[in-house]
Amino acid sequence: MPLDTSSYSLALLRVDGRRWNELRRINAQIRTQAAADGSSYLEMGHTKVMCVVTGPSEPFGPARVGRTGAGAGATAGASGGEAGVVVSIVVAGFSSVDRKRRGRGDKRIQELQSTISSALAASLHTHLFPHSTISISLHVLSQDGSLLAALINAATLACVDAGIPMTDYVAACTAGSTSTYAANDESADPLLDLNHQEEQELPGLTVATLGDSDRVAVLVCESRVQVSRLEGMLAVGVDGCKQVRAILDRVVRDKGRKMVQEGTVQKGVGLEDMEVD
């Protein structure tokens, strides 16, 4: 039994050696699946997810049009005038410590799907694609906390890769607090980017913002925490989202630069700031 989160106060170090305001290592790639319209792979620490986007395309069947909450995933904004965003999540059985099967009807997964679906629908310019569907399938390969945040980030990257017009990146991360609700510790520090152990032991929330702004696109808090601590947590979370956005942005630009170098794409207008050297 290694030390737990209660040892934070000893040296202001978290269970994995981070400080309160540090993100875990984030690694991301886009265009991992050449055949797909858009694809991405993202690691936040040991949380690993991949995403494939199909569309915007015609709905698979006439029945799909205009239906919300379609069978395989959650749909948002799927009225006739704009594209529907269908999100489906598959959690691999080997992704957590205990091998666990999760069925399609799992309520937690459904909730994740609808959260991501509505968050992306707000940022994607779905009105440009009436009568069509944007289908986002997410695969969870490994879980170590901040799952929702990782899924949102991966989906954002895949949508960028698919070339779907969007307002800005939807970047997400989690924030927590160093002591439990019951401990009611006034001097608790906020924490950025919780791993699995911290998620288990401490209160936390997931926040996503739109690009560099402070506009919150997603805010999910499922644990009990004092209102007085919430503000600090949220501030740290929003700050983390900006860091995440910068990382995602760099991934996209690096890939773009490489593609221009390789000649896969032409350097287009509006890409002046993407220096090719």
Partner 1 sequence: MASLKRSVDPGTVGSNISSKVYVRSTKSGKVQKIVREVYLRQDIPCSSRLCQACLKSAPRDAAGRPTPFVLSEQPAGTREFPQGHYLVPDTNAFLTAMDLFEQSSAFYDVVVLQIVLEEVRNRSLPLYNRLISLTKSEDKRFYVFFNEFRLETYINREDGESVNDRNDRAVRKAVKWYGEHLARSAARKAQKAPAVVMLSNDRDNLRKARAEGLPACSLAEYVNQLKDGERLLDMIPETQDREVTEGKKKPGEHLYPEYFSMSKMMTGVKGGVLHQGIFNVSPYNYLEGSIRVPAFPKALLILGRENINRAVDGDLVVVEVLPKDQWKEPSTQVIEEEAMTKNENPDTEEGSDLVSEKERKALQEEVKRTQAQKTEGHPIPTAKVVGVIKRNWRQYVGHIDQSSVSQSSQQGRKQDTVFVIPMDKKIPKIRLRTRQVAELVGKRILVTIDAWDRDSRHPVGHFIRSLGELETKAAETEALLLEWDVQYRPFPKTVLDCLPKEGHGWKVPESKDDPGWRDRADLRDLLICSIDPIGCQDIDDALHSRPLPNGNFEVGVHIADVSHFVKPNNAMDAEASIRGTTVYLVDKRIDMLPMLLGTDLCSLKPYVERYAFSVIWELTPDADIVNARFTKSVIKSREAFSYEQAQLRVDDESQQDDLTKSIRTLLALSRKLKQKRLDAGALSLSSPEVKVQMESETSDPIDVKVKQLLDTMSLVEEFMLLANTSVAAKIYEAFPQTAILRRHAAPPKTNFDELGNQLRVKRGLELNVESSRALADSLDRCVDPANPFFNTLVRIMATRCMMSAEYFCSGTQAYPEFRHYGLASDIYTHFTSPIRRYADLVAHRQLAAAIEYEAVDPSVRSRGKLEAVCKNINVRHRNAQMAGRASIAYYVGQSLKGKETIEDGFVIKIFSNGFVVLVPRFGVESLIRLRDLHDPEPQAEYDAENYVLKTSGSREVTVELFQKVRVRVTDQKDESTGKRGVKMDLVDTYGR
Binding site residues, partner 1, CB under 8 A: 1-3, 7, 10-13, 15-22, 24-25, 27, 29, 31-32, 34, 41, 43, 45-46, 50, 97-98, 144, 180-185, 187, 189-190, 195, 197, 224, 226, 232, 236
List beta partners, residue 184.
none
Helices (H), the chain: 8-11, 107-123, 147-161, 196-201, 227-262
Closest contact distance (angstroms) between CB of 25 and partner 1 is: 6
Query: Amino acid identity, residue 219?
Result: L
Strand ranges (E), the chain: 26-30, 38-44, 47-57, 74-76, 84-91, 133-142, 170-177, 190-192, 204-210, 216-221
Closest contact distance (angstroms) between CB of 181 and partner 1 is: 5
**Count of all residues that appear for the chain in the document:** 277
- Distance (Å, rounded) from C-alpha 69 to C-alpha 232? 35
By beta-carbon proximity to partner 1, the closer residue of 118 and 197 is 197
Residue 189 DSSP symbol: P
By beta-carbon proximity to partner 1, the closer residue of 39 and 117 is 39
Closest contact distance (angstroms) between CB of 161 and partner 1 is: 11
Closest contact distance (angstroms) between CB of 2 and partner 1 is: 5
Residue 164 DSSP symbol: -
By beta-carbon proximity to partner 1, the closer residue of 31 and 245 is 31
CA–CA distance from 230 to each of 62, 150, 195, 219, 221 (Å)? 45, 22, 19, 12, 10
Q: Are β-strands 74-76 and 204-210 bridged in parallel, bridged antiparallel, or unpaired? A: unpaired
Which tokens belong to 256? 């773009």
Contact 74, 113 (CB under 8 A): yes
By beta-carbon proximity to partner 1, the closer residue of 3 and 63 is 3
- Distance (Å, rounded) from C-alpha 82 to C-alpha 110? 22
Closest contact distance (angstroms) between CB of 156 and partner 1 is: 18
By beta-carbon proximity to partner 1, the closer residue of 82 and 161 is 161
Closest contact distance (angstroms) between CB of 104 and partner 1 is: 25
By beta-carbon proximity to partner 1, the closer residue of 101 and 224 is 224
List beta partners, residue 48.
43, 142
By beta-carbon proximity to partner 1, the closer residue of 37 and 189 is 189
Cis peptide before 59 (omega within 30 of 0): no
Closest contact distance (angstroms) between CB of 118 and partner 1 is: 29
